[in-house]
Amino acid sequence: MGEINRLVTLLSPSVGLVRAMAYGAAKTTSRLRLATLLFMHADLRVYRDPVKDHYKITEIACREDFGGIRASVARYFAASLWAEVVLRSAGAVEPADLYALLLDCLLALHASGPAAPRSLSAQFIWRYLGLAGLQPDLHGCAACDRPLAPSVAGYLSERYGDIRCADCSAPSDPTFSAGARAYLSHTQTLAPARAAAVRLQDDRGLSAVLYRMAQRAVDMPLAALQAGAGLL
């Protein structure tokens, strides 16, 4: 029987992450088959057995199947990275905020062009860090409190996870360029789709720094970054 049933992980805006069984979902004729698709946005009816503390999906109504994400390798790895961050950091962000961020970014990714997965990943991680209370100050050194001039690079402290000036940083700390700081400051209030349309010359450099910050936030390596190397 286990071969035709599927355990599905859901993100609910009210209760957060939930693991629920979709009985018979592997059957081609099952109405619950949609629940097994990756990155599905749907309305679900879920029953909880209070004795066994067990959840099962009883009904599903699809809102968006995100076929555009599964049709592109780069989009797929971007969405996989975001999902992994969500799964690895349960409880770090209010469910409603995390749900809204993930949905907005998935909708933008679904309809995006080939250059968008990396910039949308940067937007997702930066905004996730803000919701989790881990977003560093872009405009000043965390060690000496001196302002960082708009034209001066900062450095991401590998030890403390904050941004520091050249005098307070360690030699191995990666550069957080002035352009990257200006880009994040300008785009963080824009909708993800609009933010992704703003181009940054050194987007790979910013992504590398943000990926370090994401892995620090979840306190472990992210498998999607290794699998999607060269695409993210």
Between 27 and 190, the more confident residue is: 190
- 163-185 pLDDT tens trace: 999 999 999 999 999 999 999 99
pLDDT, residue 78, reads: 96
In this structure, is residue 232 part of a structural domain? no
pTM of the predicted model, to two decimals? 0.92
Determine the structural domain holding residue 52 and report its residue range.
2-64
Q: Residue 192 CA to chain centroid, in angstroms?
A: 12
pLDDT, residue 3, reads: 67
CB neighbourhood size of 112 (10 A): 23
**Which domain-ending residue is among 27, 47, 64?**
64
Q: How far is residue 79's CA from residue 124's CA, in Å, rounded to a whole number? A: 10
Q: Are residues 120 and 47 in the same domain?
A: no
Between 198 and 26, the more confident residue is: 198
**Which domain-ending residue is among 64, 94, 117?**
64
CATH number of the domain at 31, please: 2.40.50.140
16 Cβ contact partners less than 8 Å away, ≥ 6 residues apart: 90, 91, 95, 98
Q: Are residues 113 and 198 in the same domain?
A: yes
Q: Are residues 105 and 199 in the same domain?
A: yes
- 110-153 pLDDT tens trace: 998 877 899 999 999 999 999 999 999 999 999 999 999 999 99
- 59-92 pLDDT tens trace: 888 899 999 998 999 999 999 999 999 999 878 8
Percentage of the chain modeled with pLDDT above 70: 99
Q: How far is residue 147's CA from residue 174's CA, in Å, rounded to a whole number? A: 19
Q: Are residues 104 and 188 in the same domain?
A: yes
pLDDT, residue 50, reads: 87
- Look up residue 64 and give its amino acid: E
Mean per-residue pLDDT of the chain: 91
Q: Work out how many domains the chain is built from and give that number.
A: 2
